[in-house]
Structure 1
Amino acid sequence: MTEKETIFWNRVLELAHNHLSQTTFDFFVTDAKLLRIENNVAIILLDSDIKEVFWRENLTQFTLTAGFEIYDAEISARYVFDEEAETVVEEAPAQEIVTNPVTASQTLLPQDNLSNINAKYNFKNFVQGDENRWAVAASMAVAESPGTTYNPLFIYGGPGLGKTHLLNAVGNAILADNPRARVRYITAENFMNEFTKHLRLNSLDELKNEFRTLDVLLIDDIQSLPKKTTSGGIQQEFFDTFNELHSRNKQIVLTSDRNPDHLNDLEERLVTRFKWGLTVNITPPDFETRVAILTNKIQDYPYHFPAETIEYLAGQFDTNVRDLEGALKDINLVANFKQLDSISVDVAAEAIRARKKDGPQLTIIPIEDIQVQVGKFYDVTVKEIKATKRTQNIVLARQVAMYLAREMTDNSLPKIGKEFGGRDHSTVLHAYNKIKNMIAQDDSLRIEIDSIKNKIK
């Protein structure tokens, strides 16, 4: 590699390392190799087609960012598996990021109307639950009548909850109704990269023309705009773009990992404008929604997932959808290697073991051991814990035991419920959340539970 290619590749690796868990980085990225860059195409050597899928879905953005930073150009990626055979650079294969989707009867748009919309994200394949219902409803309303209903629409929530999916769904729905609409999806980080590139090339007028003539601007992770003290004019440019589009009733949809009031690095005048329209929150999916998400996503895999396996996975990851997707990719790797056609709970547990190690460590402890130790502490029997009697001390012991079973084992909620007299998973979840909230407010209860934990370990 040339010196410049080395700098480029080191930047790609740095971005990947900063955004991926160590386990994921080690498996998917460490063995990758940049062969060369020709005609603005990075030729990247991988050792399996599974890794190619991962790179296309998760790392394309990093090659683009590094390209703008090092080459002041858009560097696309081409993945190869045989270093010696690759001597000619062919046209880069199509990425999942596509131009405006059209039907066979519609005329393709000029190439200067690229939307960056991901065609696979739509409202039909977005799983709704109580935690995202209002965000979905608002997004659909915007798609049906852009620029007139909620403008801007501001969607916030933690990572992996579907914000990017909704942004692209809005864009796809609008383009389905009006293929000639000028729609642009972009992350805040890429907006910064675009600004920096045009600033270096002394071509800011092109950037202004590109963004201020849009019909719909979909901007992801707005919290990533650089701090107001170091923005170098980026916040000013976005402020002016926002004003221009809003004044012409052009739709703006933004996502963030936090409420507008907590965007402390952005200028107050920007934050104020973000609140002109509608602000909606997305929270982590509940158990039923996670089951529905998994049921939907396993359709993309050629394996049979028994109901108990789906429920097991739904019980393992309760913070975001991305973890569920990652778990399925882990399972796909194991199933491919072992040539399986059905995914048992044991196979699923083996596949996600490394991913779980990145989170809280779970000890292999029989639920019965937990019930015995909790019963001894609160002077109740295991039989009483499993029964339906609801005297105060028995209820507390039962809920503490359920809480510890959820905290200290990798059993699914339905499995835990079964071990407590056949109770429903929602009962276990209620007990877990109740004890968790009580611990936060009651130091004496926290000390009691820590004492029980020490006896169980």
Structure 2
Amino acid sequence: MVQEEQFWQRVQELAQKFLKQATYDYYVSQARLVKVENETATIQLDLPLKQLFWDTSLQPMLIQAGFEIFEFEMKVAYVFSDQATPQIAQSLEEPKRDMTYPQDAETQLKESHQIQDKPDVNPKYTFDNFVQGEGNRWAFAAASAVSESPGTAYNPLFIWGGSGLGKTHLLNAIGNKVLADNPRARIRYITTDNFINEYISHIRLNSMDELKEKFRNLDVLLIDDIQSLAQKKSTQEEFFNTFNALYDNKKQIVLTSDRTPSQLDGLEERLVTRFNWGLPVDITPPDFETRVAILNQKIQEYSHLTFKQETIEYLANHFNSNVRELEGALKNISLVANVKQVDTITVDLAVEALRSRTQTPASMTVIPIDKIQHEVGQFYGVSVKEIKGTKRVQNIVQARQVAMYLARELTDNSLPKIGKEFGNRDHSTVLHAYNKIKSALAKDDNLAIELQTIRGKIR
């Protein structure tokens, strides 16, 4: 308990230090620490609307206080005044104080409860703050069209791609746009895991009619990670009936997945067929320029810090798989900056901050592409100039493709960037070379040994 008190006191100290008094009074003064358990701090807020601010502006302070008092990275869970269990309520021994907050926030909260039952759409995610790039342009356009005319354009809309690329952002952006145009629209955002849990709960309580009423009368259903429905036969049956009810009534359905509909093993064919009725559209990892744009937007949440352009480019080069990695990197950097009490983020400080993140050696080691070209050339007896050139002699082509493969494997550079380093070649050429070598490695043990030898020289 002593540590919990010290932790909460430190959070408040940091908040008072970095926030204006009015901001502190509104967002922090009414908050309560419920408990610290399993490396997670449970915090009670009086309004759900305040969680977004805690998730962004206050998260670095919670992490810093967690390291200082408990010596581990603190995770955070939130409960709200009307959700507190009896056990939680008993742990809050301080008497309740009168809560005051801006009239518009109070009105918005009341209206949201009057209009619909928990849309669960995150107001943080909008089309305005979604950064467009080549990898997500079509998904963005399709999502925008759906939000403008739900139930008529692209129904269902099926967005697929890797983790952390913006699928959830687009789902919520659709919900927020529809609600902005029609506050009385019946909308529900839900993950597939939560849909499964709700289904199981209603089965146990013998209240399936309530579940049907909740989901089959929606105007827009936004469901995340539909691949989790695999092998859940009874839940698939319920979702199939829900899908049909919504589709037949011209209500909008938007789904996300990590794979295309046809690649969803463990799903009934009739569901896969329906997922293909509308528009399947993919999201691919952001290129370097898009990652820079994303970083420039994200650092606005850390207004007390100044990021040098070279630092932004360093981060964009080192995190190319998804946006969440960029967000996590910024949180670590903010933490180190707060501890060191600096407000200018240099490359050196970023490197120091990122040492605490769990990264593979390849992603944290800067390997120049020209070094890869040099070592590959030495091994195959060709020059770097020939690797970058246009000659189609067999040994040069082999060296060129191996170098492209290793540049993709050992660096965080985008395909266009790698292509530029190989004589301004198109990104599709790099991808072809990568896939060809990858395929050959599965059948050619000698090639695998060659690449292992070259890797050893590069590192």
Report the TM-score, using the length of structure 1 for normalisation.
0.70
Aligned to 1:355: 357
Aligned to 1:310: 312
Q: 1:267 to 1:367 in 2, by over 3 A?
A: closer
For 1:247, the aligned partner's letter is: D
Q: Distance in 2 between matches of 1:35 and 1:249?
A: 41
Q: CA deviation at 1:450?
A: 2.4
Q: CA deviation at 1:262?
A: 1.8
Output one character per residue of 1:338-376: Cα deviation in whole Å (capped at 9) or x when no partner: 122121122222222243535756557787865654453
Q: Distance in 2 between matches of 1:344 and 1:427?
A: 33
Q: 1:226 to 1:449 in 2, by over 3 A?
A: closer
Moved more, 398-407 or 444-453: 398-407
Aligned to 2:333: 331
Assess if the C-alpha contact under 8 Å between 1:32 and 1:47 holds in 2: no
Q: Distance in 2 between matches of 1:167 and 1:435?
A: 35
Aligned to 1:146: 150
Matches within 5 A, 1:282-431: 282-302=283-303, 303-358=305-360, 360=362, 373-379=375-381, 404=406, 407-408=409-410
Q: CA deviation at 1:111?
A: 6.3
Output one character per residue of 1:396-426: Cα deviation in whole Å (capped at 9) or x when no partner: 767766765665568x779x98xx9x96997
Q: 1:407 to 1:207 in 2, by over 3 A?
A: closer
Aligned to 2:62: 50
Q: Distance in 2 between matches of 1:183 and 1:380?
A: 61
Q: For residue 325 of structure 2, give the secondary structure of its aligned residue in structure 1.
A: helix
Assess if the C-alpha contact under 8 Å between 2:43 and 2:77 holds in 1: no
Assess if the C-alpha contact under 8 Å between 2:401 and 2:437 holds in 1: no
In the alignment, structure 1 segments of 5+ residues that lack a partner are: 1-27, 37-45, 65-73, 94-100
Aligned to 2:266: 265
Q: Distance in 1 between matches of 2:43 and 2:128?
A: 40
Q: 1:209 to 1:59 in 2, by over 3 A?
A: farther
Matches within 5 A, 1:30-429: 30-32=38-40, 49-51=61-63, 86-88=92-94, 110=114, 112-225=116-229, 227-228=231-232, 231=233, 233-302=234-303, 303-358=305-360, 360=362, 373-379=375-381, 404=406, 407-408=409-410
For 2:157, the aligned partner's letter is: L
In the alignment, structure 2 segments of 5+ residues that lack a partner are: 1-35, 45-57, 67-73, 100-104
Assess if the C-alpha contact under 8 Å between 2:191 and 2:225 holds in 1: yes
Q: For residue 180 of structure 1, give the secondary structure of its aligned residue in structure 2.
A: coil
Q: 1:300 to 1:406 in 2, by over 3 A?
A: same
Q: Distance in 2 between matches of 1:380 and 1:113?
A: 67
Output one character per residue of 1:169-218: Cα deviation in whole Å (capped at 9) or x when no partner: 00010111111111111111111111222222222211111111111111
Q: 1:226 to 1:454 in 2, by over 3 A?
A: closer
Q: For residue 355 of structure 1, give the secondary structure of its aligned residue in structure 2.
A: coil
Output one character per residue of 1:251-278: Cα deviation in whole Å (capped at 9) or x when no partner: 1111111111122222222222222211
Matches within 5 A, 1:12-27: none
Aligned to 1:40: none
Q: Distance in 2 between matches of 1:187 and 1:353?
A: 33
Aligned to 2:25: none
Measured on the aligned residues, the alpha-carbon RMSD in Å equals 4.4
Q: For residue 264 of structure 1, give the secondary structure of its aligned residue in structure 2.
A: coil
Assess if the C-alpha contact under 8 Å between 1:226 and 1:234 holds in 2: no
Q: 1:48 to 1:218 in 2, by over 3 A?
A: closer
Q: For residue 118 of structure 1, give the secondary structure of its aligned residue in structure 2.
A: coil
Assess if the C-alpha contact under 8 Å between 2:40 and 2:77 holds in 1: no
Matches within 5 A, 1:439-450: 439-442=437-440, 443=444, 446-450=448-452
Q: 1:32 to 1:185 in 2, by over 3 A?
A: closer
